[in-house]
Amino acid sequence: MSRNQSQKRMNRILVPLLTKQRGSALIIGVFIITVMFLLAATLINVLDDADQQISLEVWGTRAFAAANSGADRALAELFPVDQVAVGSCNANTTWNIGTDTGLVGFHGCAVVISCEAITTNSLPINMTQYLITSTATCSTGQCDSGTNSDASCIRVNRTVEVEARD
């Protein structure tokens, strides 16, 4: 058999097979593109959730540090270092820690400090016990702007309680 004849015979066999398979590569390509698009969309959502979780963790840490600072401030006012007597126990005090101290890390944080004094007169011990509660709220974004305020708002609260006695 000559080469020309064998080539004709192969063409008679392959041409019908190739015509039956037209368009299958297009369907496979569309399927692969769709799967890759879904994977990319899922990855974007996962990264967005991780980014939001990190932001909440950072603002939570700031709020906790601000609440600790508020409790320390109340203790310093209650038990001043340079005085022998006990200072005043204020009922409610609001402290804007970021603007009052100028610390950049605490912008958007406000601390509400409360102090409650309980005196016991049971003999032989007369003492006053103080409960200091410091609640810090740190927020960023448009938290108080109206209807769509939670679209870019992060607000975190942390509370610290300290008991002391004289």
What is residue 33's predicted lDDT score, i.e. its pLDDT? 95
So where are the chain's domains?
A: 3-165
Q: Which amino acid is at 141?
A: G
Q: So what's the pLDDT on residue 155?
A: 87
Per residue in 45-72, pLDDT tens?
A: 888 888 888 888 999 999 999 999 999 9
Pairing of strands 154-165, 127-140: antiparallel
Instruction: Please give the model's pTM, rounded to 2 decimal places.
Output: 0.68
State the sign of the Cα–Cα–Cα–Cα dihedral 51, 57, 63, 69. negative
Helix (H/G/I), strand (E/B), else coil: 64 = helix
Q: Go through 62-79 and write b for each residue having 16 or more CB atoms within 10 A of its CB, e for each that does not.
A: bbbbbbbbbbebbbebbe
CA distance 28 to 65: 56
| 137 pLDDT above the threshold of 70 | yes
Assess contact for 128 and 118: CB atoms under 8 A.
yes
- Cβ contact 66:97 at 8 Å: yes
